[in-house]
Amino acid sequence: MHISEGVLSAQVLIAGGAVAVGGLATGLKRLEYERMPQVALLSSAFFVASLIHIPIGPSSVHLMLNGLVGLLLGWAAFPAIFVGLTLQALLFQFGGITTLGINTANVALPAVTGYYLFNRTCLSSSTYLALGAAFVCGFLAILLSALLIAVSLMTTGEHFIEAAWTIVLAHIPIMFIEGVLTFFLVGFLRKAKPEILGSLYERKKTI
């Protein structure tokens, strides 16, 4: 899921960078002091997750956890994912410094989408509904990321449909794995620490 340096054109890199900066600003502004350790924890999880590989066929794909990060953090997913990606670029040379913006945008936008679509449902009193939403959130975040990457690659002359198919097909197993992972984690959090799932809005209302 990391686009290497020198693949994309300058326009795409700048556009991605602009989206990332916007997301980062929003995320940092909305970041509550009390939520900082949680952001750091999920950032670490994201940082390590992409080292976990599932070899399928000729290629292999790695965990991303962006659905989970988004579901729990909302806009704060942007700083969490940005920090994770920066460290991956510096320490493991995954992706690269120039592609940091576009990679952050590709991974964090689906995360924030997941938050808006599913965060409330995960707090629903119906366990089935909540866990179903968690699964779909984990699943959908990867699917959206794959599609965004295909869009970014389109500008390099690759056919969108072709690129999208290759990337989406390669990530289908990860979609299911992340769906199940998010399913179990939300199930656990609902029992043990439901306040972590509570969005900013919800928590302010209860206080």
Partner 1 sequence: MNVKKQYSNHRMYLVKVFCAVITLHLCSFTHTFAHKVSIFAYVEGDVIHSQSYFPDGRTCKNAQIEVFDLKGKRLLKGATNMDGEFSFRIPIQDSLKLVLTAGMAHKAEYEISKEEISPSAVKTALEKITQGQKAPLSPASATVKTELSPDHMRDIIDKALEKKLKPVMQKLTRIEAKNTSINNIMGGIGYILGLMGIVMYFKKNRKDR
The reply to whether 97 sits near partner 1 by the rule CB under 8 A is: no
Structure tokens at 37: 């350790």
Instruction: Report whether 44 contacts 87 (CB < 8 A).
Output: no
Sign of CA dihedral 72, 77, 79, 85: positive
Torsion of CA 142, 148, 153, 157, to 10 degrees: 130
Strands (E), 57-95: 59-62
Residues 6+ apart with CB under 8 A from 176: 139
The reply to whether 153 sits near partner 1 by the rule CB under 8 A is: yes
Among 10, 11, 29, 91, which residue interacts with partner 1 (rule: CB under 8 A)?
A: 91
Window 61-90: contact mask with partner 1 (x via CB under 8 A): xx--------------------xx--xx--
Instruction: Report whether 53 contacts 60 (CB < 8 A).
Output: yes
Window 173-192: contact mask with partner 1 (x via CB under 8 A): ---------------x--xx
Among the candidate windows 16-24, 32-40, 126-134, 195-203, which touches partner 1 by CB under 8 A?
32-40
First to last CA, the chain: 40
Instruction: Report whether 79 contacts 36 (CB < 8 A).
Output: no
The reply to whether 93 sits near partner 1 by the rule CB under 8 A is: yes
Looking at residue 59, the DSSP 8-state letter turns out to be: E
Residue 132 gets the label, from left (phi > 0), alpha (psi -120 to 50) or beta, of: alpha
Residue 136 CB, shortest distance to partner 1, in Å, is: 21
Residue 139 CB, shortest distance to partner 1, in Å, is: 19
Instruction: Specify the residue, 56 or 123, whose C-beta has the smaller distance to partner 1.
Output: 56
Among 10, 11, 37, 195, which residue interacts with partner 1 (rule: CB under 8 A)?
A: 37
The reply to whether 15 sits near partner 1 by the rule CB under 8 A is: no
Among 19, 167, 174, 175, which residue interacts with partner 1 (rule: CB under 8 A)?
A: 167
Enumerate binding residues for partner 1 (CB under 8 A): 1-7, 31, 33, 36-37, 39-40, 43-44, 47-48, 50-55, 58-62, 83-84, 87-88, 91-95, 149, 153, 166-167, 170, 188, 191-192
